């Protein structure tokens, strides 16, 4: 097994409500892609928050979306980044409501957006 190093990252945004309704994982390496994704995530916010500035010469954005759920109590987060000789491994933790627990009866769209240093290695999402 190849040695791996934990890689630092910074959360740009996360929550239970956004304008991205489908499940998906993204690696964003340019300003236009970032602007489009940010606009979609924040399409439900009036006014939408300002686009965070990212230096795509040095950094990239990784985003994970759980998709639309029928209630609250769901979540998704990037818990760790590990860089190996061959790839960047993105550890994603998905959570759901406890059996019999109380939850918000509203549609939710859990998401997590992070910024990390740029790499050209393959990005693998691990759940």
Write the DSSP assignment of 20-45 as a string of letters. --SEEEEEE-SHHHHHHHHHHHTTTS
How high is the pLDDT of residue 69? 97
Task: For residue 8, name the pLDDT band (cuts at 50, 70, 90).
Answer: very high
Extract the tokens encoding 71: 């209630």
3-class SS of residue 6: strand
- Containing domain of residue 46, as a range? 5-126
Overall average pLDDT of the 1-21 stretch:
90
Q: Would residue 43 be called left, alpha or beta, if left means φ above 0 and alpha means ψ between -120 and 50 degrees?
A: alpha
Polymer length in residues for the chain: 127
Overall average pLDDT of the 12-25 stretch:
97
- The C-alpha atoms of residue 29 and residue 119 are separated, in whole angstroms, by 9
Write the pLDDT tens digit of every residue in 25-58: 999 999 999 999 999 999 999 999 999 999 999 9
Write the pLDDT tens digit of every residue in 65-121: 999 999 999 999 999 999 999 999 999 999 999 888 899 899 999 999 999 999 999
| Sheet with strand 9-15: strands edge to edge | 9-15, 111-117, 59-66, 23-28
How high is the pLDDT of residue 3? 76
Extract the tokens encoding 17: 């409500």
How high is the pLDDT of residue 2? 55
Torsion of the alpha carbons at 117, 41, 76 and 12, rounded to the nearest 10:
40
- The C-alpha atoms of residue 116 and residue 113 are separated, in whole angstroms, by 10
> Number of folded domains in the chain?
1
- The C-alpha atoms of residue 65 and residue 110 are separated, in whole angstroms, by 6
How high is the pLDDT of residue 101? 87
């Amino acid at each position: 097994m190849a040695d791996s190093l934990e890689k630092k990252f910074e959360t740009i945004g996360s929550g239970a409500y956004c304008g991205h309704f489908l499940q998906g994982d993204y690696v964003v390496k340019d300003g236009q892609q970032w602007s489009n994704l940010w606009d979609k995530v924040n399409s439900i916010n009036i006014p939408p928050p300002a686009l965070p500035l990212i230096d795509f010469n040095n950094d990239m954005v990784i985003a994970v979306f759980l998709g639309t759920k029928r209630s609250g109590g769901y979540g998704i987060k990037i818990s760790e980044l590990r860089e190996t000789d061959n790839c960047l491994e993105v550890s994603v933790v998905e959570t759901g409501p406890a059996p019999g627990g109380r939850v918000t009866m509203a549609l939710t769209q859990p998401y997590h957006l992070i910024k990390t240093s740029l790499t050209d290695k393959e990005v693998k999402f691990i759940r």
